[in-house]
Amino acid sequence: MKFVKDIVIPVLVGLAIFFLLRALVEPFVVEHSSMWPTIEEGEYILVDKVSYHFHEPERGDIVVFRPPWNFGRPYIKRVIGLPGDVVEIKDGAVFVNGNRLDEPYAGWTQDILPAVQVPEGEYFVLGDNRNNSYDSRRGWTVNRKDIVGRAWITYWPPSRWKIIEHAALRIQAGLVVPGYVGGILCLTR
């Protein structure tokens, strides 16, 4: 009985805590510079896997997802187009439903993309470092089921510890107004 009390029970409790934490958050290493300067290559981040059980991804969220063509290597990008949105890029400026996005976080590019409608259940994503990002401009979107979660905290290296800021992009009367919200888990709307 002493063996069970001293060894087995603490091991089982430790495993339960580990699996509970893994269900809530997941660590990832950013392997490319596609989200620079918001998130830098080599940073370790925690991804909130709970929020999207209470609400859908929103325009401006930075999400980690598993692309269907590259199992095991997750990508990190910013949600630009929601299901049903029409996204277009003219001379580097992104338009959603005919309204130009003000993207102070994004690097400049000369890209052009004819208007495309985001399919239902899919999301149009772009990297902030537009000149160095493989993203939805290449003709693909992200299925909702492939989204792991919302980028939350950068925890390594310690000098770059931060709560990741997400741009809350809202379309109002023909204008797209940027605002920033912290990456803290929010269970209410």
Q: For the whole model, what pTM was predicted?
A: 0.81
Query: Residue 71's domain spans which residues?
Result: 2-181
Residue 119 CA to residue 86 CA, distance in Å, equals 9
Residue 90 is among the residues annotated as catalytic for this protein? no
Question: Residue 34 catalytic?
Answer: yes
Catalytically annotated residue among 2, 5, 33, 34: 34
Running DSSP on this structure, what letter comes out for residue 34? Answer: T
The answer to whether residue 161 sits within a structural domain is: yes
pLDDT (tens digit per residue) in 98-138: 999 989 888 788 888 999 999 999 999 999 999 999 999 99
Is 153 part of a structural domain of the chain? yes
Pairwise CA distance, residues 28 & 8, whole Å:
30
Task: Tell me the CB-side half-sphere exposure of residue 132, using CA atoms within 13 A.
Answer: 11
Domain of 11, CATH number, reads 2.10.109.10
Supply the pLDDT for residue 107.
Answer: 79
| Helix (H/G/I), strand (E/B), else coil: 186 | coil
Residue 189 lies in a domain: no
Number of domains in the chain: 1
Residue 187 resides in a domain: no
Per the residue annotation, which of 49, 51, 77, 136 is the catalytic one? Answer: 77
Domain assignment of residue 156, yes or no: yes
pLDDT digits (tens, 9 = 90+) for 6-41: 888 888 888 887 777 777 789 999 999 999 999 999
Give the whole-angstrom CA distance, residue 62 versus residue 40. Answer: 13
Q: Which token pair is 128?
A: 């902030």
